[in-house]
């Protein structure tokens, strides 16, 4: 069974992951309205990924004999100043999530909950990829503010549609 403190913190993280999913849907809709289909598709995929992360955490709690709770989420930010702002927000969000996942890992370790600590390792690896991806995308967007099609070209070239599931990923509840 997962340590109680870890379970409580993981339940809070479920809400943050769902909030991130809502934020990414908002960003995707913003880009879709600007007829930037690559950016829209990228953020729609990111939204699904964040939702899946929340559901992986739900499944872990169920498997560990803990009670998952699904907290409410804050309204996402919308009304962006330029096409780079949503990516800046996404990068800040991914950096925050990295800190939160690291804290969850530390909580598991501090409570001698090594199974939960091991569960968090996949998320730590995932966060390295997420921060790198958003950092690169922001660099391209900031260089291309007046040429949004260059961002579209970059995404089409560097971030193709899903190339398959990660076989090391935890199971997703309901999948």
| Model pLDDT, residue 47 | 97
Nearest to 22 by CA among 119, 128, 93: 93
Residues 16-29, mean pLDDT to the nearest whole number: 98
pLDDT tens digits, one per residue of 109-159: 999 999 999 999 999 999 999 999 999 999 999 999 999 999 999 999 998
Residues 56-65, mean pLDDT to the nearest whole number: 96
| Model pLDDT, residue 169 | 85
- Other C-beta atoms closer than 10 Å to the C-beta of 111 total 16
Percent of the chain at pLDDT exceeding 90: 89
Domains and CATH numbers, the chain: 4-71+78-158 (1.20.1260.10)
- Enumerate the H helices of the chain as residue ranges: 4-33, 37-63, 85-110, 114-143, 148-158
Examine the pLDDT at 31 and tell me if it is beyond 70. Answer: yes
**Residue 164's pLDDT band (cuts 50, 70, 90):** low
Contact 77, 25 (CB under 8 A): no
Looking at 1-5, 37-41, 61-65, 152-156, which range is the least confident one? 1-5
| Model pLDDT, residue 83 | 97
Contact 76, 23 (CB under 8 A): yes
Residues 87-99, mean pLDDT to the nearest whole number: 97
| Model pLDDT, residue 100 | 97
């Amino acid at each position: 069974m997962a340590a109680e403190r870890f379970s409580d913190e993981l339940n809070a993280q479920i809400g943050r992951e769902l909030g991130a999913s809502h934020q990414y849907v908002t960003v995707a809709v913003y880009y879709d309205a600007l007829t930037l289909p690559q950016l829209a598709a990228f953020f729609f995929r990111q939204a699904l990924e964040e939702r899946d992360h929340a559901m992986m955490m739900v499944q872990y709690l169920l498997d560990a004999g803990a009670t998952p709770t699904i907290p409410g989420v804050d309204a996402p930010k919308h009304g962006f100043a330029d096409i780079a702002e949503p990516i800046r927000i996404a990068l800040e969000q991914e950096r925050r999530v990295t800190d939160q996942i690291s804290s969850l890992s530390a909580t598991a370790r501090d409570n001698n909950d090594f199974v939960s600590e091991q569960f968090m390792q996949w998320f730590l690896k995932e966060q390295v990829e997420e921060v790198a991806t958003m950092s690169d995308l922001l660099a391209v967007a900031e260089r291309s503010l007046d040429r949004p099609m260059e961002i579209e070209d970059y995404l089409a070239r560097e971030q193709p549609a899903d190339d398959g599931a990660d076989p090391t990923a935890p199971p997703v509840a309901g999948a």
